[in-house]
Each structure stands twice: as structure tokens, then as C-alpha cells.
Amino acid sequence: MIRAFLLSLGQLTDPAILRVFLKSIGLTLLVFLLLGAGLWFGTQWLFVDQLGWGENAAGLAVIGEFVVTLLFGWVLFRAVAIAVIGLFGDEIVIEVERKHYPDALASAHDVPFARSLHMGLRSAGRALAVNLVLAPAYILLLLTGFGTPLLFFAANGWLLGVDLGEMVAARHIAPSEMKAWRASTRWVRWELGVIVSGLLTLPVVNLFAPILGAAMAAHLFHGRRG
């Protein structure tokens, strides 16, 4: 795992990786801008046009919704970031394989864009659903002082391990072999997911976390096969 992290960190300045980073950041910002605009106009429509509230009351409602959005932003950012990297993750894996595993690159299967899009949206939906279901438990465990982070990292480590691992495996393993591969890599993928979940909680570092996760997943996959 340390080797995978260091190799991934060292490749962040590669031009192809930087292009993916810029595209992923741009698309993530666009998604959040659209969500913010939707929140504003949706609130105005509901409270002013439909319920007849005054502009001041509607403004307070917007502020309240904005605060709630910030509180759950760590879940939303993670979901959006992983969905976006699902679109561009194949480019990162290709660059890692080109530099470190050329034989694997030569025998890899191209993943169609439609499949990448499906995997990204599925990952985002699964992350939102699981974390919303666990939200009451997160709140209750706040009383313990440490229970909430433990549950968060355990659950999101599993989710991210599945997403990042399958993103690489889809290029090299036949669908009929995926079940056996999942079983044999369950714990190492969970460990990867926990690490990336931790990186996603750190300011500034969280911008690079999805790319590091995709690159680390490639190193772990080929390291085990090697």
C-alpha cells in the first residue's frame, strides 16, 4: 500500500494526469454550481411563488438550506468526485499502466464510455444512499466522540474499495471471473478505500484524492497479479 501511494504521488505531475485533474475539477465545480443554482431557484419557486412567503422569509429558508448543504457537503463532494473520476479514471489507469505495466496495457480491454458513465453514476448513487441511510447513526454516535468517524470510514472504505477496484479490474478480468476476484481482494480494497476516504476529508488534498485513489488501485491490482 505504501509503494502504491508513493508511486501514485510521484506521477501526479505527469501531463496526462494533470489534464485529467483539471477536467475532473472543472466538472466537479460545474456540478456544484448547477446544484447551487437549482437550490436557489427551487427555494424561490417554492416559498415565494407557491407558498406566498415574502422575500426575506424565502431568503432565510435559502440560508438554512445552504447550511444544511454545507453540513452534508462532505458526503456530496465525495459522491460527485467519485462519479467524475469514474468518467476519467480509465485515463489515469492507462497512464499508470503505460509507465509501470506496459505488458498489462497491451493486453487490456478498452472500457466503453457508456460503461464508465454507468459505473460513475452508480458509485455516486450508492454513496449517497448508504450515507443517507447511515445519517441517523452518524448523529447518534456523535455522543461517543469517535463512533461517527469509525462508521464513516468503515462504510465509505467499503464503497470506495469497490468502486476503485472494479474500475481497474474491468480492463483486465472477464465478467465471469469478477466474483472470485472480489472475494480474494476484499480486504486490500477496503484498506485502499479507507485511505482514500481519509484523503477526501482533508482540505486541498481532497482535490487530488480521487486521482490518487485510481492510480493506487492500478498499482495494487497489478502488484497482486505480479
pLDDT, tens only, 1-43:
888 899 888 888 899 899 888 888 888 788 777 777 777 777 6
Element holding 196 (H helix, E strand):
helix 186-200
Q: How far apart are CA 73 and CA 79, in angstroms?
A: 10
Is the predicted pLDDT of residue 105 greater than 60, yes or no? Answer: yes
CB atoms within 10 A of CB 68: 11
| Grid cell at residue 129 | 444512499
What residues contact 52, with CB distance under 8 A and at least 6 apart? none
Is the predicted pLDDT of residue 65 greater than 70, yes or no? Answer: no
Q: How far apart are CA 26 and CA 33, in angstroms?
A: 11
Nearest to 80 by CA among 17, 116, 35: 35
For residue 52, report the phi and psi dihedrals to the nearest 5 degrees.
75, 20
Is the predicted pLDDT of residue 132 greater than 60, yes or no? Answer: yes
Is the predicted pLDDT of residue 216 greater than 90, yes or no? Answer: yes
Q: What is the DSSP letter of 9?
A: H
Q: Is the dihedral of CA 150, 7, 189, 223 positive or negative?
A: negative
What residues contact 30, with CB distance under 8 A and at least 6 apart? none
pTM for the full predicted model: 0.79
| Grid cell at residue 113 | 464510455
